[in-house]
Amino acid sequence: MRTFLLYAATALAEIAGCYLAYLWLREDKSVWLLVPAAIALALFAWLLAMHDTAAGRVYAAYGGVYIGAAIMWLWMVDGVRPTMWDVAGVLVALAGMAIIMFQPSVAR
C-alpha cells in the first residue's frame, strides 16, 4: 500500500506541474504559474527517488500509475468522463505495474 500511495503522490505532483505549465502555454494564463509548476515538478523528482528499488523498475512501474492518475485528472479536472476503453487501459496498465513491482525476489 505504501508503494502505491507513493506512486499516486508522485503522479499527482507530475501532472499538477505539467498542467500548470500547460495553462501558461496554451490557455494564456499568468507566467507566475511556472513557479508552482517548477515546485511540483521538483517534488515529483524527489518522490520518484524515494522508492526503494532499482530506478529503471521504478520508472517502468510508475508509468502504470501515471496512466491511471492521468485518466482521473481527465475526469476530475478536465470534466471529461472516462470511457470504458479508458478504464480498461488503466486496469491493464495497473496490472503491468503490479507485475513489475511485486514480482517475487526482486533483484535490486
For the stretch 17-44, pLDDT in tens is 999 999 999 999 999 999 999 999 999 9
Round to whole Å and give the CA distance between 82 and 71: 7
pLDDT in tens, 86-98: 999 999 999 998 8
Looking up cell 494564456 gives 28
Over the chain, what is the mean pLDDT?
Answer: 91
3-state secondary structure of 80: coil
pLDDT-based confidence at residue 51 (cuts at 50, 70, 90): confident
